[in-house]
Chain A
Amino acid sequence: QSVLTQPPSVSAAPGQKVTISCSGSSSIIVNNYVSWYQQLPGTAPKLLIYDNNKRPSGIPDRFSGSKSGTSATLGITGLQTGDEADYYCGTWDSSLSAGVFGGGTKLTVL
């Protein structure tokens, strides 16, 4: 069981908005930056958001990240069928000096 908890699945219609939560046990999220990764079917994960809310070059602004207290949230607006993927939050647990990932959330665009 991961120290970062995500909902197993979310769904929404094309064009709509969806949010994916990532909650942490103890102070892991409070004390560390959160990243988000997108894993399209059959491919390697791709960095989507870093430092809680920053997007790497090439990531559209439909994707956003935020953090508040012990939780982080990934938001996706203007949903497209190509957004169907597994999404993972991740952080560095500075108390353990180790990386951690959430259990992943499967996004279905209906």
Chain B
Amino acid sequence: QVTLRESGPALVKPTQTLTLTCTFSGFSLSTTEMCVSWIRQPPGKALEWLARIDWDDDKYYSTSLKTRLTISKDMSKNQVVLTLTNLDPVDTATYYCARTRLHLGDPQLDYWGQGTLVTVSS
């Protein structure tokens, strides 16, 4: 059974750094073509893809947020960590992590966590 769970602070102040953890089970991030992605969704708005880390430690980032994002993995804990620096109120959103399988080079986000709401406010 594949599960993912996001965790992190619910409230952060502007200019601070957000650290989110995705803890997963039911699959291994060392399996070829296995990845984890982060996606966010501001209240009432559309999904926005943020980042992806692959089994071979390749990393990919949103072009608009690239300078502020870092993704990493801890294989011993089955966790993927996302950091977002220099927070602004526009970063207020529900943040999701999703298991991502590469099929013919196409990333399929086939299992999602329930999401965690992060509010950026002073």
Count the B residues whose beta carbon is within 8 Å of the partner chain — how many? 24
A97 on interface, CB distance cutoff 8 Å: yes
A104 interface residue per 8 A CB criterion: yes
Do residues A98 and B114 form an inter-chain contact, with CB atoms below 8 A? no
Q: Indicate which residue in A46, A101, A104 contacts B49 across the interface (CB closer than 8 Å).
A: A101
- Where chain B touches its partner, the secondary structure class is strand
Contacting residues of chain A (29-44) with chain B, CB-CB under 8 angstroms = 32-33, 35, 37, 39, 43-44
Residue A99, interface by CB 8 Å: yes
Please give the residue numbers on chain A whose beta carbons come within 8 Å of chain B beta carbons, in ascending order. Answer: 2, 32-33, 35, 37, 39, 43-47, 50-51, 56, 88, 90, 92, 94, 96-104
- Which residues of B are in contact with A by a Cβ distance under 8 Å? 37, 39, 46-49, 52, 60-63, 96, 103-110, 112-115
